Structures are given as structure tokens and as C-alpha cells.
């Protein structure tokens, strides 16, 4: 029943207020908004077609005509960078969403049912955690073949474990609370109790973890693309731009430096936002920092 959960669902509101008191959060939010706008309006912002090759303008250094220079196929680096924003955000967002949904469901089910199911799911988590993240992503991407979809699947798999853990712990505490007990005695199905009563009370913790892990997802995407397991060419992605630019590192620094800075800014923005969100939901660190 909504009346049972209503007072607790108000939590994101207080979270929002705590967040806005934090100066670091404002910086993170501002940077992220800017990056999202760049991704949305890429066709309007990009001065050239990111895929248009022009051998006459190979490896041009930054100039008034090409602000960030051109690559070894004569493609405009700035335009590729702007379109690359779309790929990075898309991969990061979708991968984290998949990990978040699967991880939270597994975590809630494990915490709520306990017993054998709990041991089985947590055993799976232990296995996922025993692979070094990058190597697991690398292995899955290599086995499935290089494509954007497979890259997203590979990154999602590496990030399921933390969401299972963060969803499981509060579920164990919440399932003994009176409002869940009340629902149970009214004969609600376990699915309704887990989805309608337990989930809304921990959704903020899951979302905070989502922001933090999106930064990691974007880093993993860039790393896998750099190794050569990313979206296949000629799709512009930051990681693959660095990979291509690395071959010309001795005479064309802009090819590696520009996408590097783009990755840094995005990851930093998400980390700032994620840190601020974590402080906002955890009163202990909040009082410690402010």
C-alpha cells in the first residue's frame, strides 16, 4: 500500500537538499549537464562530419580551421570528440543500468529469501569479484566479439557484484520492519513486498552507487576501446581515438591529449557527483566533511 511506504519514499527529497548544500556537488552537476548537452546536440556543435576523411588534411595540428587538429585520415578531431561523447555516455549509462537492475534484483532476492538462495547468489558474487575487473571485461568482450552491444554487456557483467551487495544489506534489515511484516500478514506476495515495500526504501543507496560506478564504466569503456575491443571503426569513441593517435604519438600529440582530457573531465565530474551523493545519504561522513 502506498500509505505504508509514503513517509519513507520522501527520502530522495532530503537527499536532494543535502546534495545541494555541497559545493563539490554543484561543480559535478554543472560539468555533467554540459557533457550531456554536448552529447545531445552533437550534430549542431560539431564543425565537420566526424567520419569525413580528407587525405589532403592529414595530421594537421590545431589551427583556426581545425580547432583540435585532424587525425591520420584527415578527420576533424573536435567533431570526433563531440560525437564520441555520445558513445561514452551511452555505454556508461546503459551498462550501469543493466548492472543496477540485475544486481538490485539479485541482492533483494538474496536478502529477502535468505538460506540456500542467498548462499548461491553471494557465491556468484564472490566469483565475479575474483576476476580483475578489466580482465573480466576484456575476456567477455573478446569472447563475444567486438561490437557496441557486446561492450555494454561486458562492462555490465563487471559491475553487477557491488549492486548485489548494496541491495542485500538493507533488505535484511528492512524485511524485519513492521511495515513489511504488516504487508506479509495481509497476504501480499513476496514479489509485491520486495518491489513495493523494500525497494523504495533503499533506492537512493542504489542510485548513488550508480553514479559512482558510471564513472568506472566510462573508464572501462575507454580502456577496452584502447585495447581494441571497443565499438568497431569508424565509430568515434574516446578510447579508440587514443588507440589510433598512439601510433602517431611522436609527431601528433593532439590525437592522444584531446580525448584523454575528455575522458578525465567526464570521469572527474561523475566522481564528484557520486562522492557528493554518497556524503548526502550517509550522515556520518556528511558531518565529518562539512
Partner 1 sequence: MMQFALKRFLLAIPTLLAMLTAVFVLVRLVPGDPAAVMLGDQASAEALAAIRKQLGLDQPMYIQYMHFLGDMLSGDFGVSMATGRTVMQEVALVLPWTLQLTFAAILIGLAFGLPMGVWAALRRNSWPDYLCRVLSLTGLSFPAFVSAILMLLVFSIQLRWFPVIGSAVDGNWLTQLHALALPAFNLGLIMTAYVMRVTRSSMLGVMGEDYIRTAKAKGVPAARLVLKHGLRNALIPIVTVVGLYFGTLIGNSVLTEIVFNRPGLGKLILAALNTRDYSLLQGLMVVFAGCVILVNILTDIVYGLVDPRVKVK
Residues interacting with partner 1, by CB under 8 A? Answer: 123-124, 126-127, 129-135, 138-140, 142-145, 215, 219, 222-223, 226-229, 242, 246, 249-250, 253, 256-257, 260, 263-264, 267-268, 271-272, 275, 285, 288-289
Of the two residues 127 and 191, which places its CB atom closer to partner 1 in the complex? 127
Least distance CB 191 / partner 1 (angstroms) = 27
Least distance CB 183 / partner 1 (angstroms) = 31
H or E element: which one contains 237? none
H or E element: which one contains 75? none
Of the two residues 105 and 268, which places its CB atom closer to partner 1 in the complex? 268
Least distance CB 56 / partner 1 (angstroms) = 27
Least distance CB 195 / partner 1 (angstroms) = 28
Least distance CB 62 / partner 1 (angstroms) = 15
Of the two residues 205 and 275, which places its CB atom closer to partner 1 in the complex? 275
Of the two residues 168 and 219, which places its CB atom closer to partner 1 in the complex? 219
Tell whether the torsion through CA atoms of 42, 137, 260 and 25 is positive or negative: positive
Least distance CB 186 / partner 1 (angstroms) = 35
Least distance CB 11 / partner 1 (angstroms) = 24
CA-only gyration radius of the chain, Å: 22
Of the two residues 66 and 226, which places its CB atom closer to partner 1 in the complex? 226
Of 276, 289, 288, the C-alpha closest to 15 is 276
For every residue of 126-190, DSSP letters joined together read HHHHHS-HHHHHHHHHHHH-SSHHHHHHHHHHHTHHHHHHHHHHHHHHHTTSHHHHHHHHTT--H
Whether residue 282 contacts residue 93, with contact meaning beta carbons closer than 8 Å, is answered with no
What is the phi/psi pair of residue 68, to 5°?
Answer: -115, 20
Least distance CB 213 / partner 1 (angstroms) = 13
Q: How many residues does the chain have?
A: 290
Of the two residues 16 and 246, which places its CB atom closer to partner 1 in the complex? 246
Cα–Cα dist 253/269, whole Å: 24
Of 285, 237, 253, 250, the C-alpha closest to 89 is 237
Cα–Cα dist 217/203, whole Å: 20
Of the two residues 5 and 223, which places its CB atom closer to partner 1 in the complex? 223
Cα–Cα dist 73/281, whole Å: 48
Of the two residues 89 and 180, which places its CB atom closer to partner 1 in the complex? 89
Amino acid at each position: 500500500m502506498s500509505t505504508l511506504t509514503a513517509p519513507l519514499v520522501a527520502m530522495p527529497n532530503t537527499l536532494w537538499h543535502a546534495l545541494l548544500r555541497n559545493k563539490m556537488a554543484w561543480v559535478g552537476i554543472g560539468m555533467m549537464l554540459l557533457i550531456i548537452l554536448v552529447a545531445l546536440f552533437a550534430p549542431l556543435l560539431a564543425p565537420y562530419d566526424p567520419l569525413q576523411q580528407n587525405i589532403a588534411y592529414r595530421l594537421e595540428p590545431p589551427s583556426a580551421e581545425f580547432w583540435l587538429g585532424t587525425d591520420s585520415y584527415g578527420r576533424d578531431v573536435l567533431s570526433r570528440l563531440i560525437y564520441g561523447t555520445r558513445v561514452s555516455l551511452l555505454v556508461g549509462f546503459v551498462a550501469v543500468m543493466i548492472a543496477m537492475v540485475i544486481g538490485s534484483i539479485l541482492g533483494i532476492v538474496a536478502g529477502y529469501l535468505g538460506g540456500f538462495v542467498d548462499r548461491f547468489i553471494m557465491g556468484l558474487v564472490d566469483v565475479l569479484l575474483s576476476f580483475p575487473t578489466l580482465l573480466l571485461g576484456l575476456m567477455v568482450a573478446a569472447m563475444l566479439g567486438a561490437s557496441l552491444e557486446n561492450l555494454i554487456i561486458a562492462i555490465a557483467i563487471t559491475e553487477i557484484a557491488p549492486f548485489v551487495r548494496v541491495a542485500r544489506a538493507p533488505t535484511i534489515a528492512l524485511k524485519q520492519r513492521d511495515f513489511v511484516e504488516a504487508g506479509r500478514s495481509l497476504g501480499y506476495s513476496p514479489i509485491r513486498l520486495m518491489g513495493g515495500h523494500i525497494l523504495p526504501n533503499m533506492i537512493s543507496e542504489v542510485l548513488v552507487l550508480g553514479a559512482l560506478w558510471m564513472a568506472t564504466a566510462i573508464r572501462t569503456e575507454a580502456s577496452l576501446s584502447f585495447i581494441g575491443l571497443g565499438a568497431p571503426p569508424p565509430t568515434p569513441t574516446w578510447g579508440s581515438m587514443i588507440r589510433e593517435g598512439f601510433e602517431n604519438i611522436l609527431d601528433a600529440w593532439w590525437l592522444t591529449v584531446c580525448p584523454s582530457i575528455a575522458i578525465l573531465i567526464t570521469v572527474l565530474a561523475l566522481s564528484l557527483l557520486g562522492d557528493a551523493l554518497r556524503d548526502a545519504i550517509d550522515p556520518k561522513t556528511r558531518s565529518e566533511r562539512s
